[in-house]
Structure 1
Amino acid sequence: MWWPSNLVQVSLFRALHEKEKRPKRGTTLTQFFLLAMICSFAYYVVPGYLLLMLTSFSWLCWFDSKSLFLHQLGSGMNGLGLGAFGIDWTTISSYLGSPLASPWFATANIAVGFVLVMYVMTPLTYWLNVYGAKKFPIYSSALFMSNGQRYNISSIVDSNFHLDRGVYRTTGPVNLSTFFAMTYGLGFATLSATIVHVFLFNGRELWNQSRSAFGGKRKIDIHTKLMRAYKQVPTWWFILILVLNIGLSIFSCQYYNVSLQLPWWGVLLACVIAFFFTLPIGIIAATTNQAPGLNIITEYIIGYAYPERPVANMCFKVYGYISMTQALTFVSDFKLGHYMKIPPRTMFMAQIVGTIIAVFVYIATAWWLMGSIQDLCDTNLLPENSPWTCPMDRVFFDASVIWGLVGPRRIFGNLGEYGAVNWFFFGGAIAPLVVWSAHKMFPKQSWIGLIHMPVLLGATSMMPPASAVNFTSWLICGFVFGFVVFRYKTEWWKRYNYILSGGLDAGTAFMTILIFLTLGSKGIDWWGNNTDGCPLASCPSAKGVMIHGCPIF
C-alpha cells in the first residue's frame, strides 16, 4: 500500500535529484517546483502579514454586525462557517494536509462527513438545546460552568495536581459545548468503525500478507528485487531501540513520578495499544491519506484506569497515540526509500540522526518561546490577531482536564450527564457493516465500495482546533483541483500535481519564517487584519446568560 502524501515526497525527490530531459513544450519538474515555490513565497506576505482577513473571509457577518444568528452561521473561526473561505495555503493545509495529495473519493467522504456534522447535527443539537447547548457558544473547545461562564480550572486542582473533590462538588460539573461533546462521540464512532472496516474490507488481504511474512509464499515485485542489492537493516537494531526507549520511558515515569504521575504499567499499556492499532490505522492512512487518531481512546482508558491525574493522562496519550503516529511516519519514510531505491541503512540512520537533532531543536525552541513571548498561549491576555494562541495546545490542555483531572466517569460515565455519547461506539461499529452488506448485495454499484465510514465519521476529528473555514477552504481546493483540472488536463495533472503541492508548502514555510524574523509576529493594525469579523459568534443565546461583550436575551 502507498501513502498518498508519499507521492508528494517522491515527486519532489525526482524533481530535485534525478536528471530530466527538457520537454519540447512546457517546463521541467524542477522549474515548475521553483516557480510554484516563488509564487507561494511572494503571495504569502499578503495573508500572512498585510491582509490577515484572507485567512477567514466570513462575508456573511457583514450583513448585520449585531445579529448573533448571522455571526453563528457565518463565522469561519467560531461558528458554522457557512460561505466562509480562506485564500491562504496555511488555512487550507494546516490540519488536513494538502488537498492535492488526497484521493478524490476520500475528499468526497470528508465532505459528506463535514456537511452532516457541521450543517445538520450541530444546528439541530444546538437549537434544540441538547445538554443546555444555548448556554454555551455553538462552536468551542472551552470548558464551562452550568451558568455559561468559563470554568476556572485552577480552583479544582489541589497542591498535588489532583482533583479537589470537595471544591469540585461545590463549583459544579464541567460542561462542554454540544459540538465539543459530539466531536468526542464521533471519535468513539471512528475508532470502532476503523476496526470493523479493516476486518471486513481488508481482513483476507491481511491474513494472506501475514502468512507470507511468516514463512509462506511471498510475491516479490521489481522494487523488492532491486532493493536486494543493498544491505538490509538488521532486526536487532529495531529491537534494541524499542527496548531502550521503553526502558527509558519507564525509568522517567518512575523517577519523576511526582511530576509525571504515570506508573510503569501505564507505559506498557500505552505501548500495547499503539502496537494493536498501528496496522489498522496504517491501512486507512495508506489508502485515504487520513489517519484516525488514538488520542480519545488512550485518554478514555487511562482516565478510567488511573483517574484524577491530568499529567498522567497526557503522558499516556503521548506514549500511546504519538508512538503510533511516529511509527506510521517511520514506515512511510521507509516506503519512500523503497520506491526511490535509497539504501535502507542510509534511510535508517537519517531517521535516527534527524530524530536526535529534532529533540534538541524542539526543546530549545520551546524554551526560547516561553521566555520571549509574553502571555504565550493565554487567549485572555493576548491581542486579538496574535499568532501565539496555540489552538492545538489549548485543546490538549482541555482534554487533560476532561479525561485526566475530572475523569471520564464524571463526564461520560454514570456520574456525568454525557453518558449517551457512548452509544457512538455502537453506531461506529454498525456503519461499516451496513456499507459492506450493501456492497455485497449490489456489486455492480461500485460507488458503494467508495463509502469509507472511518473517514466519513472521522471527517471532523481535527475540530477543534481546526475551524469551519479550514474545512470549507480545503474542500473547495480539493474538489476544484481534484475534479475539474484532473478531468480536463489529465496528463498535465499527473505530471505536476504533487510538485505543485510541495512548492506551495515550501514557499509558504519560507515566507512564514522570514516574516517572523524580519517583521515580527504581529501584523499591521488596520481593518484588513480583522481575521474573522464575527465577534458575536462565540456568544451564548440562552436567556439570562451574561457574558462580557455579548447581547443579553
Structure 2
Amino acid sequence: MNAPEHTRTLFGTIFGGASSNEGMGLLNFSLDWQYIQSTYLSLPFKQQVNTWIAYVIWYPAMLGLYYSNAFNAKNFPFMSTSLFKSNGEPLSTASLLNNEGTIDDTKLAEVGLPSLTATTVWGYFTQNLAIGALITHVLIFFGKDMVLAWKQARSRTQPDPHYQGMLKYKEVPMWWYLVLFVLCFVAGIIVNAKGETTLPVWGYIVSLLLGGFIAPFSCILYGLYGSGVSTNQLSKMVGGALHPGRPLANLYFASWSHQVILLAVNLANWLKVGQYTKVPHRVMFATQIYATLLGAGLNYAVMTTIVTNQREILLNPEGNNVWSGSTIQSLNSQAITWALAKDIYGSKGPYLIVPLGIVIGLVLPVVHWGLIKIFPRFRDWPLNTAIITTYAGYTYYGNTSWVWSSIAVGIFSQFWLRRRLPRVYNKYNYLIGAALDGGAQIIIFILSFAVFGASGKEHAFPTWWGNPSGNPDHCL
C-alpha cells in the first residue's frame, strides 16, 4: 500500500476489480451477489468449463495488448468503453455530430478519428469471433436436431413428458402473436418517424429481418448451455454499412435488431419455465404482456431518475465502484465508430481485425469438427468455440471482482454438490439462488436511492479498512 504509484497501478491493473474499469481482478474474490448471481448455481457444468478456458485466454490477451502498446494502448486507460482522441483525451460524441445527429465532416477533420482502448478492440473482436462461431457451430453440431425439433413441434409429437403434460391446456392461437407483432411493428414505425432517429423505414424492416435470422441460433445455444452469444456487434456492423455517417440510425438499427433476438430468447426461456411448472399457455402469454408493460414503465422511471442525478459520473470514462456508464458508453462508441466504418474498420483503418473476426469465427467450429474426425475421443470434450470466444473478451470493461467468485460458486454447485449430494442439490440449489437474487435486488434498490444518491442526495457510509475512502481494493 505504500509502494510507488506506478507499482500500485500495475497491481491494480492485474488484481484490482472492485471498481469499474480498474483491472482484471485476478484472484480477486467478491461476496457481492449482485455480480455473482444465481446464474452460476444453474448453468450446466459444461458451459462453465468453456468459460474457464476462455478466462485462460482473456488474462494474457488483455495484458499483452496493453503492455505491448498494441493500438497505442498506453495512450488510453487500461479499460474503458469511451471514445478518445489520439492523444488520450476523452472524446465527446457530440463533438463529431451536427444538429441532425449525423457525422459532421468538418468537425471530424478538426477532431480526428476516434480511438478505442486496446481492451475494447479485443472485446469487439471476440464478439465477432463468437458470432461467426455461433452460426457454424449450430449448423454443424445441432443442424439435424433443429430440423427434428421443428417437425416434432409441427406434429405435436415431442416426446418430452413436460411437453406432453401441457397438451391438456388450450394453446395460444397464432393470431394472438400476429396481432401483437402488428401492434409493435406499427409502434416501431411511429417511433422512427416521430423520434428523429434518422433511420428510414426500410432500415427498420431490415433490422427486424436480421434479428429474425440470428434468433434461432441464439435460442438453440441458450437452450443447450443456458447462455447465449452477444450478437449486437453484427447489428451495428450491418447498420453502419447500410447507414454510413448516421450513428443515431445505427444505434436504433442495432437496438431493434437486438431486441428481436433478446425477446425471442427470453420468450423461449419463460415458455419453457411455464412448461416445467405447468402454467397454462394463455396464462403465461397474459403474464408476459403484463410484466413487460409494468417493467417498461418502472425501468424508465428508475433509469431517468438515476441518469438525472448521477449524470457527471456516468459520463466519466472510468466511473467508480458504485456508478458506471460503461454499457451505455459502449453503445455510443460503437454507434459512432460503425458510422465511420470505412475509415475505422476498413482495409486502411486501425481496427480492421474487428470485422475480420466474423470470418475467423466461422472457421473455428470447422477446425473443431475436423479435430473430432481425426481424434474421435475429442468428441467427449464438451467444447463450444462460440462460448469460449464469447467469454475470452466478455469482460473488457466494468467490474471484474466477480470472476473468481463465480468459478468457486460453479465448482461448489455444479461439480461438488450436484454429484455428492444430489438430493440437497435438487431441493435447495435453485431455491437458495432465487432467494439470494431477490434479496440482492431489493437491497440494491434500497441502497441506490437511500444511500448511493440515485435520488440526488448521497449518504456516505463511514470509512474504515473494509470501506476505504479511496480505492476499494486498496490498490490506489
TM-score normalised by length of structure 2: 0.90
Aligned with residue 278 of structure 2, among 324, 341, 358: 341
- Of the structure 1 ranges 309-318 and 488-497, higher mean CA displacement relative to structure 2 is found in 488-497
Q: What are the superposed Cα offsets for residues 119-168 of structure 1, whole Å, 9 maximum, x if unpaired? A: 22222222222221222222222222211222233322222221111221
| Alpha-carbon distance between aligned partners in 2 of 1:128 and 1:378, rounded to the nearest angstrom | 28
Cα 1:381–1:423 change in 2 (3 A) is: closer
Correspondence for 2:142:
202
Give the stretch that moved more between structures: 157-166 or 232-241. Answer: 157-166
- CA 1:62–1:479 in 2, change beyond 3 Å: closer, same or farther? farther
Number of the residue aligned with 1:476: 408
* Displacement of 1:403: 2.2
**1:265 to partner: Cα distance:** 0.8
1:523-551 CA deviation, whole Å, 9 max, x = no partner? 31525244534676xxxxxxxxxxxxxxx
Aligned to 1:391: 326
Counting only pairs closer than 5 Å after superposition, residues 406-417 of structure 1 correspond to structure 2 as 407-417=340-350
Where does residue 86 of structure 1 map in the other structure?
30
Partner residue, 2:298:
361
CA offset at residue 468 of structure 1? 2.8
Structure 2 CA distance for aligned equivalents of residues 412 and 506 of structure 1: 42
**Displacement after TM superposition at 1:500 (Å):** 1.6
CA contact (8 A) 1:292 1:454 kept: yes
Distance between the aligned counterparts of 2:318 and 2:65, measured in 1?
A: 32
Conserved 8 A contact 1:294-1:320: no
- Of residues 175, 178, 202, the one that matches 2:118 is 178
CA distance in 2, matches of 1:493, 1:63: 46
* CA deviation string 1:285-335 (max 9, x = no partner): 111111112210001101111022222111111110122111211121111
Q: 1:112 to 1:225 in 2, by over 3 A?
A: closer
Contact 2:198 2:249 survives alignment (8 Å): yes
Report the number of matched residues.
464
Check whether the contact 1:412–1:418 (CA below 8 A) recurs between aligned residues. yes
Q: For 2:318 and 2:392, locate their aligned partners in 1 and report how far apart those are by CA, in whole Å.
A: 29
- Whether 1:298 aligns to 2:235 is yes
Match of 1:485 in 2: 417
Measure the CA separation in 1 of the matches of 2:329 and 2:267.
27
1:433 aligns with 2:359: no
Partners in 2 of 1:204 and 1:412 — Cα distance? 36
Q: Quick check: 1:110–1:459 contact (8 Å CA) kept in 2?
A: yes
Instruction: After TM superposition, list the pairs within 5 Å mapping 1:118-197 onto structure 2.
Output: 119-197=59-137
Q: Based on CA coordinates, which of the two structures has the bigger radius of gyration?
A: 1
Cross-structure match for 1:113: 54
Structure 2: any 5+ residue segments left out of the alignment? none
Instruction: Provide the residue aligned with 2:436 in structure 1.
Output: 504
Offset at residue 496 of structure 1 (A): 1.4
RMSD, aligned CA: 2.5
Q: 1:221/1:107 Cα in 2 relative to 1: closer, same or farther (>3 Å)?
A: closer
> Shift of the alpha carbon at 1:183?
0.9
Distance 1:356 1:187 in 2: 31
Percent identity between the aligned chains?
22
Deviation at 1:64, TM superposition (A): 5.3
C-alpha distance in structure 2 between counterparts of 1:428 and 1:305, whole Å: 23
Match of 2:193 in 1: 254
- 373, 398, 403: which is aligned to 2:338? 403
Residues in 2 aligned to 1:211 and 1:359: alpha-carbon distance in whole angstroms: 36
Check whether the contact 2:101–2:198 (CA below 8 A) recurs between aligned residues.
no
Amino acid across the alignment from 1:505 = D
**After alignment, is 473-482 or 238-247 more displaced?**
473-482
User: What does residue 541 of structure 1 align with?
Assistant: none
**What is the deviation of 1:273?**
1.1
CA distance in 1, matches of 2:142, 2:436: 34
- Distance in 1 between the 2:353 and 2:309 partners? 45
The alignment's TM-score, normalised by the length of structure 1, stands at 0.78
Kept in 1: contact 2:318–2:324 (CA 8 A): no
Deviation at 1:241, TM superposition (A): 0.9
Tell me the equivalent position of 2:249. 312
Q: Cα deviation per residue 1:145-202 (whole Å; 9 max; x = unaligned)?
A: 2112222333222222211112212222211111111111111110010000000110
Cα distance in 2 for partners of 1:371, 1:147 equals: 30
Relative distance call for 1:316 and 1:62 in structure 2 (3 A) is: farther
2:325 partner amino acid? C
Please give the secondary structure, in 1, of the residue aligned with 2:391.
coil
What secondary structure, in the 3-state scheme, does the structure 1 residue paired with 2:402 have? helix
Q: Alignment partner of 1:400: what SS?
A: helix
Q: Whole-Å Cα distance in 2 between the matches of residues 422 and 346 of structure 1?
A: 44
| Pair 1:421 & 2:354 matched | yes
Contact 1:80 1:139 in 2 (8 A): no
**3-state DSSP class of the match of 2:314?**
coil
- Tell me the equivalent position of 1:36: none
Q: Which position in structure 2 is the counterpart of 1:45?
A: none
2:171 to 225, 232, 250: 232
**Distance in 2, Cα, partners of 1:372 & 1:71:** 29
Flag structure 1 segments of 5+ consecutive residues without an equivalent. Answer: 1-60, 537-553
Q: Paired residue for 1:72?
A: 13
Distance 1:284 1:62 in 2: 48
